Amino acid sequence: MTILKQAQLKLIAFKCGLATSGTKPILLARILHELNRIASAPANNVCQRILSIDMGIRNLAYCTLDVNLNCPSPKIHAWRNLSVSMTPVNPVIQDAKEQQQTLQAKEAFDPASMSVTAYNLLREKLLYDKPTHVIIEQQRFRSMGGRHIFEWTIRVNMFEAILHGILCTLKAEKIWNGTVVSVAPLRVGPFWLGRDDDKRSTKNVAFRNKRRKIDLVKSWLENETSIVQLGNNEVLDVAERFTKSSTSRSSKSETASDDDGKDISSNLAKLDDLSDSLLQGLAWIQWEKNKKIALRYGVEALLES
């Protein structure tokens, strides 16, 4: 592998879902480290259930995919949008006026309240179908090159950290025995859409890519490709929302920024989150397949596909 050029190593890293930055020795070490991890992992011949979470509070979405060695493509078991409500936990009442304000408060974003919400969300919904792997969208403090860090962004980052903490605890206590993986969204989009060299504003490119991702998922569902299968009637209903949707450019009045800081036309927001959760899960599955191909046939095999 040392005879490969830096551009070839970048392509191999890209197809394995790894960072593509760095010098040739850094890329080589990164790829070898990941392949050694895969080689040393225990063989798993049973069906895997992948829970892919597109992070958010107002606009969280998740997709559960069943992967079976005897089945050529993953099957969607669950595919849902969620608006997470942060219920206040044991507020301290000091006087009548404060009590009235507290009673009117519908949500709280303090660590105690968010922890209870995250725990209930995991135990009652996200882990209900017993996933073997949980793939969580990795958050950033700044989006689209912005200079400022917004309060809502901090809330979503905190929520992400709490989910990781609870999953770590559940695994340590042997309540849930699975694997948690963070995935940077900037590696998922280019994997399916290709690299975008558009020099226009970052905001316009991001908005356009949201539409492209929705259109990609829509085309898979309309053409019944072998990329993914639909598992039940509930999933079929979600798929129908895609096939009946239109991503033609909306007017400026229809375009707004949602509570989690994602700019997208309001009538496409939920489909955007659903498509992100599906594409993230499928990307991770394909990355793992590519690593196994590299182990079995050599990394050069990834340059041929």
Blockwise average pLDDT, block size 10, the chain, 305 residues: 89 96 95 94 81 95 92 92 83 53 67 94 95 95 66 90 98 96 95 75 75 94 88 94 74 46 61 97 97 94 87
pTM of the model: 0.86
pLDDT at position 282: 98
CB-hemisphere CA count at 13 Å for 134? 26
- 118: its two tokens: 């995250």
Answer for the pair 62, 77: CB distance below 8 angstroms, yes or no: no
Q: What is the pLDDT of residues 89-132, one digit of tens each?
A: 765 545 555 555 554 557 788 899 999 999 999 999 999 999 99
pLDDT at position 267: 58
Name the CATH code of domain 51-95+107-247+264-287 (choices 3.40.50.2300, 1.10.1740.10, 2.40.50.140, 3.30.420.10). Answer: 3.30.420.10
pLDDT at position 254: 42
